[in-house]
Amino acid sequence: MHNYLKNFEKYIFYFLIAILGVYILVEVVTLVYFFFSGLFTVESGKSLFFSKDEGEVIIPAFFGILIAFELIDTLKIYLKENEIKSQHIIVIGLIAISRKLLVLDFAHGDPMTNFSIAALIAGLALAYFLLKKGEKS
């Protein structure tokens, strides 16, 4: 019975990795499309090559790809070693909060939200630091 559950778990993880692969492919196509359409389109009110609206599409797509790769890496490590590394989860959290931070409008945001995001970043950074420090000793 235990063998069946392990095989079922393994196939579910392969399925999740395949879904993440499709997600990465779609996000890369989206990223390339918006990048080159912003590069070759001339409009007034654009800073450098991209408008603010295009930047709000490009940045989340880029970070979404990074998060998906980290998730795939975490799933592969789990399949190989049968354990989830907390360091990978913290890195995924840092990437996700960085993604949110880059597209957030601080001027019109709630101050409590801004403090919450700052506390979350500090907590994740401290956790990552402590894990790395514990790894060295």
**pLDDT at residue 51 in the model:** 66
**pLDDT at residue 22 in the model:** 97
Distance of alpha carbon 16 from alpha carbon 117, whole angstroms: 29
Query: pLDDT tens digits for 36-64?
Result: 877 776 665 555 566 666 677 788 888 88
Instruction: Please check the confidence at residue 122 and state whether its pLDDT lies above 60.
Output: yes
C-alpha closest to that of 18 among 61, 97, 72, 74: 72
**In terms of residue numbers, what domain contains 27?**
2-136
- The number of distinct structural domains making up the chain is 1
Mean pLDDT, to the nearest integer, of 93-110?
80
